[in-house]
Amino acid sequence: MSLLVTGSIGIDTVKTPYGVSKDCLGGSAVYFSMAASLFSPVRFIGVVGSDCPFDLAEVFAGKNVDLTGLEVRPQSKTFRWAGTYSDDLDDRTTDYVELNVLAEAPPKVPDQFKNSKFVFLANTAPALQHELLEQVDKPVFVAADTMNCWIEDHLADLEALLKKIDCLTINEDEARMLADDQNLTRAAQKMLRMGPGLVVIKKGASGSMMCNADGDTFILPAYPATDVKDPTGAGDCFAGGFMGYLAKNARTDFETLKTAVAYGTVVSSFSIADFSLSGLTLTKRNSVDKRLRTLRNITRF
């Protein structure tokens, strides 16, 4: 089924113990689309300014990504972000953020995209996520991501959005913040009561946990990656693999959701191997399937 993503396109500067990547391509919609296109056609919605140095048509050449929803605003500047990771890559400090075009009105959903059945609202202001969702006609499954600044400063908007979506993807620190509970199991239950029928908590190197409103829980470790240089975008790639697999199979039963989590886990293991999209751009589906088989073997008992 059709898969729509809306989110950021960014110019990133990333510092890790393995080097510096200055003014590289980033953004939640970009990472998500590269990952999801391994499974399903992607309908891309995003906006950049005239200063954007990247040709997204070239970036996604050979990938099944429809850029009809890409908007270039001549009088605006592209979103910029810079961050520095700790020596163990577990902690990240944001050095600066320039919202630029993301502080403006969101892009419009093209008419040919409005019938999308699977929708991912990648990380941006919840009011903008809600506004974009309102432009889609009767989606089957809607997932959204969020982050600490929206929880802190736009909680009412986020709570309104949670009542409109089927799935929330969120990292463990933000889950504790949103639920006001340090125990992730209790935090998941509290977030489910806020509206979504499914919550996926991303725990980085510790894997992920998925819970639904029926009381089902699934916990999976991370893929044991040996090459880790840049975790930026790993969560978006996880979401891309997760949603791409669901859209391809047009199912959201819990068994399918578990496999989708596993695919998201494996896809993100490719993205962290290098800076920006370099770890994922040349990745093929057969390589992803091979790692999935490895993950299955090491978690079966």
pLDDT of residue 195: 97
* Positive or negative: CA dihedral 231, 95, 9, 6: positive
pLDDT of residue 253: 97
Distance of alpha carbon 113 from alpha carbon 1, whole angstroms: 12
The pLDDT of 48-70, averaged and rounded, is: 96
pLDDT of residue 124: 86
Residue 161 lies in domain = 3-299
> Average pLDDT over the chain, rounded to whole?
95
pLDDT at 301 over 90: no
Of 179-188, 255-264, 273-282, least confident by mean pLDDT is 273-282
Domains: count for the chain: 1
pLDDT at 67 over 90: yes
User: What burial letters (b/e) apply to 120-145, b meaning 16+ CB within 10 Å?
Assistant: bbbbbbbbbbbebbebbeebbbbbbb
Q: Which residues contact 300 (CB under 8 A, 6 or more apart)?
A: none
User: Three-state DSSP class for 68?
Assistant: strand
Q: How confident is the model at residue 268 (pLDDT cuts 50, 70, 90)?
A: very high
Q: How confident is the model at residue 149 (pLDDT cuts 50, 70, 90)?
A: confident
The pLDDT of 70-76, averaged and rounded, is: 96
For position 52, which CATH number holds? 3.40.1190.20
Note the pLDDT tens digit of each residue in 178-230.
Answer: 999 999 999 999 999 999 999 999 998 899 999 999 999 999 999 999 989 99
Q: What is the pTM of this model?
A: 0.95
- The full length of the chain comes to 301
The pLDDT of 59-69, averaged and rounded, is: 96
Phi/psi at 146 (nearest 5 deg)? -150, 180
pLDDT of residue 1: 80
